[in-house]
Amino acid sequence: MNEQPVWAIVVPAELRQTLVRERARLAAQGLDPVEVLDGAGATALVCFMPGSEGTDADVARALAKASDEPIWLLRFGEDLEAAFVYEPDEARRDAGDDPWDVISRSGVPLARPRPELPRSVIAVEGADAEEVRAALGFDPAADRSLHVDDRRTATVVHSEGGTVVSLLRPLAAALPHATLYLLSAGPNDSWFTCRVVRGGADVGEFAPEDVESELDSVKGATDPARIAEALSVPAGLLWP
């Protein structure tokens, strides 16, 4: 499952049919999507509908009482991640566990989402791809995730991992005759920066609409897409 769960109720596997019936009941009430996912000796009722918290507590309480088994209620909200246990006597306690750890132990196929990190690319003016590879000590056969490409106006360094920030300073030190541009873009187009290093020293950083931006423009451009274009950086490397 790739969607972000809102909550999950984890029960012993023998209660699976109970969860199937509960899923049908919730769907009839308009609560959707809700899925029943099987793990290793456990089954979970998982809801992906934002704002559905509250219903989960009622369901967990009723299941614990009817089954005479402790029931896990896990919440995955941005403002609250928690793991609660509902006892058959309807008492609720905060287990203090990470809900993703509970899911992992249960074997239910939900994976903790990886945070989307800013992507970055380095454009190098004044050094071709061969020089840049030598400066990095880069062996294409040894690291297939890193790419150094000759482009129209610059040599572009990028990684399939999404970021090359750690390479800026070593490259600047090894290529004092070159000008380097570190372009960084947020995962949701929320921000963009371009740091310029020339002769091994910082020239400054450009950030659109930032009153404290050290630079007014890059290559005469203030629009992130135009800056990338001027430096021969494919837009897909920053905004996939």
CATH no., domain 119-238: 3.30.70
| pLDDT the model gives residue 138 | 76
Cα 216 from Cα 210, distance rounded (Å):
10
| pLDDT the model gives residue 61 | 93
Question: Are 192 and 120 within 8 A, CB to CB?
Answer: no
Buried b (16+ CB within 10 A) or exposed e, 138-155: beeeeeeebbbeeeeebb
Residue 109 scores a pLDDT above 90: yes
Query: What mean pLDDT value characterizes the chain?
Result: 90
Name which residue leads in pLDDT, 231 or 139.
231
Query: What share of the chain in percent tops pLDDT 70?
Result: 95
Q: Tell me the residue ranges of DSSP E strands in 97-187.
A: 119-125, 146-150, 155-159, 179-185
Name which residue leads in pLDDT, 191 or 38.
38
SS3 131: helix
Cα 172 from Cα 25, distance rounded (Å):
62
| pLDDT the model gives residue 115 | 67
Parts of the chain belonging to CATH 3.30.70: 119-238
Q: Tell me the per-residue pLDDT of 30-79, one tens digit each, with 9 for 90 and over.
A: 888 999 999 999 999 999 998 888 899 999 999 999 988 899 999 998 66
